[in-house]
Amino acid sequence: MPYLILAICLTVIATSYFSALNLALVQASRSGLENELDRLGLLDRGRWLLNRLQEASHAVAFFRTIGRVTLFALVLVSVEGFGDSARITLTGLITTAVISVALVWLFTSVLSSAIARHATYSVIASSLSFVRFTLILVGPLLAAVGFVDEVVRRLSGANLREDEIEDELLHSIEDRKREGEIDPVAATLLQRAVVFGQTSVASVMTPRTDIEAIELSDDLTTVREKISANSHSRIPVFDESLDQIVGILYVRDLVRYFGATTADFNLRALLREPLRVPETKPIGELLRDFQRSEVHMAVVVDEYGGTSGLCTIEDVIEEIVGEIHDEHEAQDELPAVLDRIDGLRYESDGRVAIAEINERLGISLPDDGDFDTVAGFLLDRFGRVPVQGERDETPEATFEILAATPTKIDRIAIHLREELFADRPRPGSEAADS
């Protein structure tokens, strides 16, 4: 029995080491590792690893798995005994599972994560020989797995390679921003450019409920009043309902009617045919459509042919460069996307994406429901449209409704919990910029 306990202890230590090394390899950036090896005088010895971090992490993960399986087997033997009298029982299996999970969680998850987080490059630098050994030993297996993966990818027609390249680019940009090699603003532009082609029209369009439009039957006086009220340079025109948008009116085309009478006015003659695109169309393709057609507004239609929203060329370009405001746009109409008010208190437009809230505020709101925005998240939580002043509590923040209509949430206050940032930095100053 003493030997068995010793074997369990050694297995726990080895598995913890494998886990810490694996996590360090996953978290490490090429530039960060290169700088650390150079500082320690190990760059020549470890240069081979700089371009094989992902492969090395898979190889070490193989040994981590072996360690966990071995630990389970040793604990099972210690609980059930061994030899001719040994019998595996349900109670023994449950006891083994509980003990094994506790050991794995404490030592190979909590402890290993802490080591990898605080000593990422030191762990790797001290393990160069072992990492090389794992790659030599497990290399053929990794090559076989990679071959099977490539065969399945080709047979299924999946275009995973582009996704992998995109992920690598995003990680590389984030690493260089963290290392101070890229200005945060430039990094944001680069990251937006990388994901630009994968963003759908639905995520950037103006939703149907926010569309400001003119009815085809409106006379010249009414058209002028509506144009003066909304200050847009292009306005959709519909016949009876927004599901029947018949064209786009460019405000500059009304110049010819200055001083004209209502009787001379023919709205239909001024309209330009809009593009009609599905919600799922990538905005990169839509931008090319805008360039070819020289029409800069598209009607977004749902699967049933109804109008889902509107998307302009400005909406598309803003995905890279941020908000662009027309010189005619009234200042009180400009959307404040996400503003830090003071300390851990923020105010957000209801249309801000859940993913952006999570990334910029360092929280983890669920983003797997039937909603994409913070307003949709709160509608799901309340089960109805809340009124001004209502609050909702989550483990990470308190949400207060600042402005709402009977059909939607316009503005929200987000109060982050103080204890959430007891052991980690608060959101950076750029997280508060809109």
Least-confidence region, from 82-86, 257-261, 319-323:
82-86
Strand partners, 215: 238
Domain that holds residue 314: 201-331
- 91 shares its domain with 194: no
Tell whether 128 and 28 lie within a shared domain. yes
Decide which of 331, 353, 383 is a domain's last residue. Answer: 331
Q: Give the residue from 238, 213, 241 showing the smallest Cα distance to 227.
A: 213
Q: Are residues 246 and 268 in the same domain?
A: yes
The CATH number of the domain holding residue 234 is 3.10.580.10
- The residue that leads in pLDDT, 90 or 410, is 410
Q: Judge if 120 and 14 occupy the same domain.
A: yes
pLDDT confidence of 336, banded at 50, 70, 90?
A: very low
Tell me if residue 310 falls in helix, strand or coil.
Answer: strand
Sign of CA pseudo-dihedral 307, 231, 193, 433: negative
Report yes or no on whether pTM surpasses 0.85: no
pLDDT higher than threshold 70 for residue 80:
no
Say whether both 216 and 298 belong to one domain. yes
Residues 377 and 350 both lie in one domain: yes
Q: Among 248, 230, 12, 214, which residue's Cα sits nearest to residue 108? A: 12
pLDDT at 329 over 70: no
Q: What is the pLDDT of residue 412?
A: 93
Higher-pLDDT residue of 389, 198: 389
The pLDDT of residue 163 is 57
- More confident of the two residues 243 and 320: 243
Residue 430: its pLDDT value, please? 43
Give yes or no: residues 290 and 343 share one domain: no
Residue 369 corresponds to which tokens in the numbers above?
């429901």
Angle formed at CA 159 by CA 154 and CA 165, multiple of 5 degrees: 120
Q: Which of 79-88, 121-130, 153-162 has the lowest mean pLDDT?
A: 79-88
Kindly tell me if the per-residue pLDDT of 41 is higher than 90: no
The answer to whether 130 and 54 have CB atoms below 8 angstroms apart is no
Which of 20-34, 72-86, 182-196 has the highest mean predicted lDDT (pLDDT)? Answer: 20-34
- Asked if 183 and 241 sit in the same domain, the reply is no
Which whole-number Å values give the CA distances from 375 to 63, 337, 361, in the listed order? 45, 12, 16
Answer yes or no: do 36 and 119 share one domain.
yes
String of DSSP letters for 48-67: GGTT-HHHHHHHHHHHHHHH
Biggest alpha carbon–alpha carbon distance for the chain:
107
Domain boundary among the residues 198, 225, 253 is at 198
Residue 169 scores a pLDDT above 70: no
Residues 126 and 14 in one domain: yes
How many domains are there within the chain? 4
For residue 262, what pLDDT is reported? 65
- Report how far residue 246's alpha carbon sits from residue 92's, in angstroms, rounded to the nearest whole number: 73
Q: Looking at 3-17, 175-189, 341-355, which range is the least confident one?
A: 175-189
Sheet holding 345-349, edge to edge: 338-342, 345-349, 409-416, 397-404, 391-393
Show Cβ contacts of residue 382 under 8 Å, excluding neighbours closer than 6 positions: 390, 392
Pairwise CA distance, residues 90 & 107, whole Å:
26
Q: What is the pLDDT of residues 351-364, one digit of tens each?
A: 888 888 888 888 88
Contact 233, 252 (CB under 8 A): yes
Distances in whole angstroms, Cα of residue 10 to Cα of each of 3, 25, 68, 111, 133: 10, 23, 12, 15, 20
User: DSSP letters of 156-185?
Assistant: HT--HHHHHHHHHHHHHHHHHHHTTSS-HH
CATH number for 399? 3.30.465.10
The model's confidence at residue 263, banded by pLDDT at 50, 70 and 90, is low
More confident residue, 208 or 150: 208
Per DSSP, 108 falls in state I
Confidence of residue 83 (pLDDT cuts 50, 70, 90): very low
Helix axes 184-195, 160-178, angle to 10 degrees: 170
What is the average per-residue pLDDT within 320-333?
Answer: 53
Percentage of the chain exceeding pLDDT 90 = 8
307/386 same-domain check: no
Model confidence at 158: pLDDT above 60? no
Q: How far apart are CA 9 and CA 14, in angstroms?
A: 9
397-434 tens-digit pLDDT: 999 999 888 878 889 999 998 887 766 777 754 433 44
The predicted-structure confidence for 268-326, as pLDDT tens digits, reads as follows 888 888 889 998 888 888 888 888 887 888 999 988 888 999 998 888 887 777 665 55
- As a whole number, the mean pLDDT across the chain is 79
Tell me: do 38 and 176 sit in the same domain.
Answer: no
Helix (H), strand (E) at residue 293: helix 283-293
Q: Which of 170, 198, 226 is the C-terminal boundary of a domain? A: 198
Q: Determine contact, residues 393/382, Cβ cutoff 8 Å.
A: no
